Amino acid sequence: MLQQEQLNSNNYFSVESLLRYSKIDEGLLNKPIAEKDAHKVKYSGFEIFCHLVNAPILGCNNAHQLSQSRDTKALGCGKDVLYRKLGDEDINWRDIELRLGKSVSDFITTQFPPEDNEKQTNVFIVDDTMIQRLRSHNAEMLTRLHNHVTGKSEKAYNNQTLGFSDGVSFVPLCFSVHSSANPKNLVNPDLKAKERDGRTAVGKRFKELTKRKPTVLMDMIAQALNRGIDAEYVLMDSWYFSDGLIAQLASLGLGAAGLIKRNIKLAPLGGDRCSTQKQLMKTAVKEVIDGYTVYSRLAKTKIGRKVKLVFVKSYNNPSVFLTIISTDTALSSEEILVLYARRWKIEVNFKVQKQYLGLTKGTQACSFTSIYASMALASIRYLLIELHRRMNMDSRSLGALFDEARNRLHDIPFIEAINTLLNLMNGLPEKLYKAGFIKQKDIEKVRDMIYDLLSGWFKGIDYYIKQQIIPIKSCQNKNQ
């Protein structure tokens, strides 16, 4: 078993080491090979999987660029191998991500317990984001979605992600992809989707395309709980809130906290008539938290569920306010605000995955299987980088850590080439002596001459390259 100290050495990011540390079953990624073809295959399914995870770190934005890279050629596989892995319907991507999520969440909660005997409050966070495919026309079940940022309709899928947080890290656990059940909303309604066996992993994910997101969310939460990933609350955005969803979460022993839409009416505790949120705020208790004025009160939903409301006014415009609701009425207003603030971590997750990890541009394929696989790989990359960051207690952002990993990975082949050249040059005096061109007493003089020439050549080159020649010469002197 790989020890944590080995992972911490030189703060080096290794996908293979992190995956093995996470106790991922390599058998999940190795497709059986016929005995007659075994001698032809120089790589395993696990190696191909690690190679695909490494793609953005190698500077490849998608599978096509990765297939043309020198790293793929060095591995000894062609582009068809990569595409077959992405299109493999036998791979259960959700199971792999949940296994990794379980390992990472266990590591975080056991290695970083709360200080001063504080209670550890773990939460699930859920949100969705658009995955644009602006230039696609023949992608399976591609639909038109309203972009709330631009105010326009765009070709896209909807990605709903469930994650785990301890207050410091965000660990993506699983996700679902959604389209429209109405054929009129599809980009290409005449395109017939591929028929899939509903019993397979990909077949089940394909069925989720047209299901309601809260329905799929409850399935994902149940799967996470069955894996042993525990949480106390589910943090959500305003459009998720409903009495039905809150009741289902309560049946699983989970509380909820999140924003609610302005048009939702609630009844004051002890009353039967529903009031607007503005009316409820007028009779709320005023509190000052870190210099900010908030208002809180108890209320009940239309079905009579007791909740606590916290109203937060805009600093610049007091007439504008947000309403945060919590099903745990025992929490103070400050605890509810601190708890809900964790929800922002999933927004950072989406930003990092889109900008660095290939969430939107991971593949140019039109098959739903390949599209889903590329999204899963982006999520796994984020998960592994976060694990690496916590192992090294790194204060850098995920984006900075990604750039560091990419730069280091690019430096390795160049440094290896330099080392090979230097070792050849250091062995040159011995070869000249054996060939009779110089005497034995001149070997060290020739080596010093070569070293001086190389040192002159290295002038003006970056400092870290110069350092490669110094240990080699000192090592050679010790061996003489």
> Which residues have C-beta within 8 Å of that of residue 220, sequence separation ≥ 6?
162, 173, 174, 175, 176
Q: What is the DSSP letter of 153?
A: E
Residue type at 107 in one-letter notation: F
pLDDT level of residue 55 (50, 70, 90 thresholds): confident
Distance (Å, whole) CA 463 – CA 466: 5
**Res. 4: pLDDT tops 50:** no
Per the CB < 8 A criterion, the answer to whether 171 and 386 are in contact is yes
pLDDT range class, residue 330, cuts 50, 70, 90: very high
pLDDT in tens, 10-38: 444 567 777 777 767 666 666 554 444 44
Residue-level pLDDT at 407: 53
Residue-level pLDDT at 7: 37
pLDDT of residue 63 exceeding 70, the answer is yes
Question: H-helix or E-strand containing 472?
Answer: helix 469-479
Segment 291-317 shows an average pLDDT of 87
* pLDDT at residue number 247: 92
pLDDT range class, residue 62, cuts 50, 70, 90: confident
90-128 in b/e burial notation, b at 16+ Cβ within 10 A?
Answer: ebbbbebbbbbbbbbbebbbeeeeeeeeeeebbbbbbbb
Write down the mean pLDDT value for the chain.
Answer: 80
